[in-house]
Structure 1
Amino acid sequence: MTGRLGPVLIIGTERSGSNLLRLILNAHSRIAVPHPPHFMRYLAPLAASYDRLPAAAGRARATADALGLLRRHIHPWPHPVDADRVLAAAEPGHGLFGIVAAIYDEHRIAEGKARWGCKSTFMVDHVADVLAVRPDARFVWLVRDPCDVAASAKRAVFGPSHPYRTALLWRAQQDRARAALDAHGPDVVHLLRYEDLVSNTAEEVGRLCDFLGEELEPAMLEHHRSADARRTAGLAQAWRQAGQPVTNHRVGTGRTGLTTRERLLVDKVTGPVKESLGYPVDPAAAGTPDPSPLAVALGSAWLRARIEWRSARNDDNYRARMRRDAYVRFLRLRTAAARAAAPPGAGGRRHQAHGGSTA
């Protein structure tokens, strides 16, 4: 089998097993998949601010912002990344993702591997940007029962917390992933269900390797023994399972982790999409009334307060997450201030020149 060199990107929704899949892929001798700082999620909305600058200055600013995000990452990368090498490698006209790809390439080279991967599921919003820069990229659409995703999100620092909001996000992101599969075909987008991955691990990882043009390696089935897995498991409560063998005991957690009303709400919001992916929908869901915006807001605030309290007590990377969030707020405020100070009608270069689509 001849291995390909294109990057591997996991797309879908958080709390779907992407950390497990990252560690499985990273255990391969040819694939380097560091924990993602979510470059595109945080920086793509700022792309217009880079466009307003002269080309070289815009690229330098975007690179500096990306590396600032990396320095504040909640799961620090093991190798330093040099800004000058990134700027030299990122071709002008390749947009923000060109810079992101150059950063990941730096990590790949330091790891001594042939290709890199990214587990930022938010890249489902940037499939076109990726393919414009790396037409050899491959996407793994990882999907999980939305009720189980919502049950996990209720306790995790990642995601919208409230099951209703989680369901809306899940539906939107699966729609985008489906559109990518329809547009580019199964040779570019591989659909993988979490439930199948944890129940038939060797078979599903083998199919995934076939899709990627790689050989299945035994280390992929023993991912939990890696130093990366042990380190990940020690950083945050939400990642504790990273240091354990693959198990299917988290399949069906929505039955106990959600109330009956929450489960029916998730099924109502996600219904047709959920069924199309092979998950049953409760017939009673259709008659469940939607919650009021106030109820969702208050419920979200209560869940978030509990989550943050637990994280502050239990997560070794809690302070790192606070620093990261403060840095993102700073970038947004700086962008807003620059926009307010710009003369009327100031536009700058075409948006595609640095940011591509931010949809």
Structure 2
Amino acid sequence: MSLMRNLNRALTATTGLQVRRASPVASAAPGATAPKRAAKKPTAVYRCPAPEDLATDRLLRRPVFIMSPVRSGSTLLRMLLNAHPRLHSPHELHIRRLEVGYGSKLSQKAMSALDLERGDLEHLLWDRVMHRELVRSGKDFIVEKTPSNAFVYERIRDCWPDARFVFLLRHPVSIARSWYEGDPDKRTYDEAAADALRYMRAVERAREGTTGGYTVRYEDLTADAEKELRGLCAFLDIDFEPSMLDYGRQDDAQVVKGLGDWRDKIRTGRVQAGRALPTDDEIPDLLRPMCEAWGYSQ
């Protein structure tokens, strides 16, 4: 063992490499291919910035995050909010996928000396990217709506202690149907329902794990957009603007051109009612608990 340590010290000093004992390889049947497994990434370590550190650690102020499952109308809500002169809601930014790595041990030690771990550096990157986008828009607040953000709501909450959360809900069966119909060759309806349920559960965990959020239902939004937007604007502490209802005239409406059920909304520039709600006997057992939790079933 001491020989191995001495060898690794010499290798590290001269090449930066080390020798490791190979893991035993299980014998496989002739012609069989071993399944590939993605390496599990270590959890990013980070600290929550103290109130007195926000001025130096964060550029964004009071960002807004829409937490929603897939196929729940988040694109519609994004466009309505983006039509407000003070709100900038760009396309999905997927900031959680922006990661930071160390090029060397020295860089890691240097950042640690600054009290910056990998998670802290990622948070600085997320904040800078979103702040850049906000500044380019010339508006006051940014609204981010990537559905997968719900899976990392804790990090978003810890990254921006002054963040505001809007929870967009829709009937779980409608979500599952829309997710299936979006690509019926990719997954069966049961598979689509199970996959969409992951997002619904993540959103529900975020609702339970944050305080002071605001809940909007897709069905209410399409039935009376002005009423729902007035309530949402009051939550965001901004005035309601009638221009929000003319979202179809905004240039970014072209982003969703050709997305089926959105087409008429874009063409008319007005919100229209969605499909009829599923009946109780159309709710599969898999989705019934979520329907009950969200008040869509008794």
Q: Give the TM-score, by structure 1 length.
A: 0.57
Amino acid at match of 2:202: R
Q: Which letter does structure 1 place at the counterpart of 2:230?
A: G
Per-residue Cα deviation, 1:27-61 (whole angstroms, up to 9, x for no partner)? 11111111114232xx26xx5xx445448978xxx
Change (3 A) 1:267 1:114: same
Match for 1:17: what amino acid? G
Counterpart among 228, 235, 239 of residue 215 in structure 1: 239
Q: Distance in 2 between matches of 1:223 and 1:246?
A: 9
Of the three residues 262, 270, 278, the one matched with 2:287 is: 270
Q: C-alpha distance in 1, partners of 2:258/2:104?
A: 40
CA contact (8 A) 1:153 1:162 kept: no
Counterpart in 1 of 2:271? 246
2:72 matched residue in structure 1: 16
Instruction: Tell me which residue corresponds to 1:205.
Output: 229
Deviation at 1:241, TM superposition (A): 4.5
SS at match of 2:72: coil
Q: Structure 1: any 5+ residue segments left out of the alignment? A: 59-89, 282-359
Distance 1:56 1:99, change over 3 A: farther
Task: Say if 1:9 and 1:139, in contact at 8 Å, map to a contact too.
Answer: yes
Q: C-alpha separation between the residues in 1 aligned to 2:219 and 2:120?
A: 37
Tell whether the 8 Å contact from 2:147 to 2:199 is kept in structure 1 after alignment.
Answer: no
Which amino acid letter does the alignment assign opposite residue 191 of structure 1?
A: T
Given residue 23 of structure 1, which amino acid in structure 2 is its aligned partner? M
Q: Secondary structure at the match of 1:167?
A: helix
Tell me which amino acid in the other structure corresponds to 1:268.
D
Corresponding residue SS for 2:165? strand
Change (3 A) 1:236 1:202: closer
Name the counterpart of 2:128.
102
State the shift of 1:92 in Å: 7.6
Cα distance between partner residues in 2 of 1:218 and 1:174: 31
Q: Distance in 2 between matches of 1:123 and 1:53?
A: 27
Distance 2:208 2:66 in 1: 17
CA RMSD of aligned residues (A): 3.2
Give the match for residue 51 of structure 2: none
Partners of 2:151 and 2:119 lie apart in 1 by: 20
Task: Give the secondary structure class of the aligned counterpart of 1:94.
Answer: helix
1:184 pairs with 2:240: no
Q: Which has the larger radius of gyration?
A: 2
Report the Cα offset of residue 153 of structure 1. 1.6
Contact 2:173 2:287 in 1 (8 A): no
Change (3 A) 1:240 1:233: farther
Query: Counterparts in 2 of 1:113-192, with a 5 A limit?
Result: 113-157=139-183, 161-185=187-211, 187=212, 189-192=213-216
Partner in structure 1 of residue 52 of structure 2: none
Q: State the secondary structure of the residue aligned to 1:9.
A: strand
Q: 1:146 to 1:136 in 2, by over 3 A?
A: same
The alpha carbon displacement at 1:140 in A equals: 1.2
Residue 143 of structure 1, CA deviation: 1.1
User: What letter corresponds to residue 227 of structure 1 in structure 2?
Assistant: D
Which amino acid is the alignment partner of residue 66 of structure 2? I
Contact 1:159/1:166, CA 8 A, preserved across alignment: no
C-alpha deviation, 1:194, in angstroms: 0.5
Unmatched segments (≥5 aa) in structure 2:
1-59, 109-115
Q: 2:218 aligns with which of 172, 190, 194?
A: 194
Q: Percent identity between the aligned chains? A: 27
Change (3 A) 1:241 1:100: farther
How high is the TM-score relative to the length of structure 2? 0.67
Query: Which one has more relative contact order, counting CA pairs under 8 Å at least 6 apart?
Result: 1
Offset of 1:142 from its aligned partner?
Answer: 0.8
Residues 123-146 of structure 1, C-alpha deviations (whole Å, 9 max, x = no match)? 101111112221111111111112
Task: Measure how far apart 1:122 and its partner are.
Answer: 0.9
* Number of the residue aligned with 2:10: none
CA 1:133/1:29 → structure 2, altered by over 3 Å: closer, same or farther? same
The 2-side partners of 1:232 and 1:250 are apart by 23
Query: Quick one: structure 1 residues 226 and 134, their matched pair in 2 at CA, closer, same or farther if it must change by over 3 Å?
Result: same
Shift of 1:269: 0.7
User: 1:212 & 1:158 partners in 2: Cα distance?
Assistant: 38
